[in-house]
């Protein structure tokens, strides 16, 4: 009997030592990875983001252009921000032993998995969860590691997880036009409510002609509109919102209504883009709720309008701040560029 008890006690002792030793990494070595940064981002050609709930985004370099879900061109500013984050990611602090179990459960329950590919091969995989309580770091785990860490981006006052959204509205490029000035052959503006205000500017090298002929014209405006479509630093001209982002429900009704302006831009090779611009009714977001010309409540929004490009029914929301100076009527062509 005594021998049996001794054997049992020895067995229990061995189990305790094994359990404790394993916890301390004595028998089965833990793999702790903390090299989060990808200092050399050259060769990265694909990044796949997927949340625990299945919501995902595929960013892929296709023939030199970064695309979102193989459909839309990606927004360069967000891409640059994400690449900078990947380059600078570092461990801010380890996670206390007393908090480790809770953080591991948190990452397992709610995370965005980030797969980074180089030359079509997975290079590094992260699991990124929410920020810490101080809002200056995010809980992150490298695939293959036994421990997560709180990570940060030096110089960024925020949380790294903010730079890996799975909302397509964040990633989609909102560029409406990006045309080099030297490629523009003609620009036509038509005003269906008064076609006598319509005109077309034809460009040939450094000269232009306008039809119907105009006796007095601000030449600064003529060359301004030629460069307008390339945008500042060649980044193009962007809309405020596309499609569902506009919250427009009666798309068909607007699409089939008479446009306010029809803009036609013809490039070299006779490639033509047609943008039909429609008035937008006043909403709670409209700044100018009052029309001073008739001393009544405003009917149309003077800050924004809707548009449809090349017959596509996806609605585009434009800002007057961006497009307003472009949409001059023929009778306004003599006015200086900064006046209407």
Query: Are residue 323 and residue 211 in the same domain, yes or no?
Result: yes
Question: Residues 125, 193: contact at Cβ < 8 Å?
Answer: no
Task: Write down which residue in 116, 147, 171 finishes a domain.
Answer: 171
Two structure tokens written together for 277: 């611009």
What's the chain's average pLDDT?
85
Dist CA 246 CA 315 (whole Å): 7
Query: Are residue 49 and residue 157 in the same domain, yes or no?
Result: yes
Query: Are residue 112 and residue 196 in the same domain, yes or no?
Result: no
Query: Are residue 161 and residue 199 in the same domain, yes or no?
Result: no
Question: Residues 92, 167: contact at Cβ < 8 Å?
Answer: no
Query: Are residue 209 and residue 277 in the same domain, yes or no?
Result: yes
Query: Are residue 236 and residue 308 in the same domain, yes or no?
Result: yes
Residue 280 has a pLDDT of 86
Model confidence at 125: pLDDT above 60: yes
Give the residue, 50 or 290, on which the prediction is more confident.
Answer: 50
Residue 276 forms beta bridges with which residues? 262, 308
pLDDT tens for 162-185 read 999 999 888 988 999 999 999 999
Q: Which residue has the tokens 């009527």?
A: 329
Query: Are residue 90 and residue 191 in the same domain, yes or no?
Result: no
Query: pTM value?
Result: 0.70
In a domain, 20, yes or no: no
Give the residue, 218 or 4, on which the prediction is more confident.
Answer: 218
Q: What backbone torsions phi and psi does residue 161 show, to the nearest 5 degrees? A: -60, -20
3-state secondary structure of 227: helix
Question: Residues 175, 232: contact at Cβ < 8 Å?
Answer: no
Residue partners of 109: CB distance under 8 A and separation at least 6 = 52
3-state secondary structure of 104: helix
Query: Are residue 187 and residue 321 in the same domain, yes or no?
Result: yes
Region of residue 231 (left: phi > 0; alpha: psi -120 to 50; beta: else): left
Give the model's confidence band at 206: pLDDT under 50 very low, under 70 low, under 90 confident, else very high.
Answer: confident
Query: Are residue 130 and residue 219 in the same domain, yes or no?
Result: no
C-alpha distances (whole Å) from 38 to each of 23, 44, 88, 90, 150 are: 31, 10, 8, 10, 17
Task: Write down which residue in 122, 149, 171 finishes a domain.
Answer: 171
Domain count, the chain: 2
In a domain, 254, yes or no: yes
Q: Which of 210-214, 290-294, 331-335 has the lowest mean pLDDT?
A: 290-294
Query: Are residue 163 and residue 194 in the same domain, yes or no?
Result: no
Give the residue, 227 or 336, on which the prediction is more confident.
Answer: 227
Please confirm whether the linkage preceding 212 is cis (ω < 30° from 0). yes
Query: Are residue 157 and residue 190 in the same domain, yes or no?
Result: no
Task: Write down which residue in 107, 140, 171 finishes a domain.
Answer: 171
In a domain, 32, yes or no: no
Question: Residues 175, 273: contact at Cβ < 8 Å?
Answer: no
In a domain, 48, yes or no: yes
């Amino acid at each position: 009997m005594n021998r049996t008890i001794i054997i049992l006690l020895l067995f229990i002792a061995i189990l305790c030592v094994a359990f404790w030793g394993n916890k301390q990494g004595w028998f089965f070595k833990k793999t702790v990875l903390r090299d989060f940064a990808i200092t050399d981002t050259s060769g990265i050609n694909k990044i796949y983001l997927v949340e625990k709930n299945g919501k995902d985004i595929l960013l892929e370099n296709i023939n030199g252009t970064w695309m979102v879900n193989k459909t839309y061109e990606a927004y360069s500013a967000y891409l640059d921000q994400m690449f900078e984050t990947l380059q600078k990611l570092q461990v801010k602090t380890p996670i206390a032993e007393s908090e480790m179990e809770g953080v591991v459960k948190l990452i397992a329950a709610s995370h965005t998995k980030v797969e980074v590919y180089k030359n079509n091969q997975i290079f590094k995989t992260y699991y990124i969860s929410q920020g810490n309580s101080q809002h200056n770091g995010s809980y992150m785990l490298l695939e293959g590691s036994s421990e997560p860490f709180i990570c940060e981006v030096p110089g960024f006052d925020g949380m790294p997880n903010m730079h890996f959204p799975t909302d397509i509205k964040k990633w989609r490029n909102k560029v409406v036009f990006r045309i080099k000035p030297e490629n523009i052959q003609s620009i036509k503006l038509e005003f269906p409510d008064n076609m006598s205000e319509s005109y077309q500017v034809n460009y040939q090298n450094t000269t232009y002609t306008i039809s119907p002929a105009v006796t007095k014209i601000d030449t600064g405006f003529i060359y301004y509109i030629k460069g307008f479509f390339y945008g500042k630093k060649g980044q193009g001209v962007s809309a405020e919102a596309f499609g569902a982002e506009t919250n427009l429900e009666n798309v068909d009704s607007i699409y089939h209504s008479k446009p306010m302006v029809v803009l036609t831009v013809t490039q070299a090779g006779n490639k033509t883009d047609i943008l039909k611009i429609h008035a937008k009714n006043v909403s709670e977001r409209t700044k100018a709720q009052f029309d001073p010309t008739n001393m009544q409540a405003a009917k149309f929004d003077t800050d924004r309008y809707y548009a449809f490009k090349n017959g596509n029914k996806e609605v585009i929301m434009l800002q007057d701040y961006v497009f307003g100076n472009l949409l001059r009527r023929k009778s306004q062509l003599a006015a200086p560029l900064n006046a209407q």
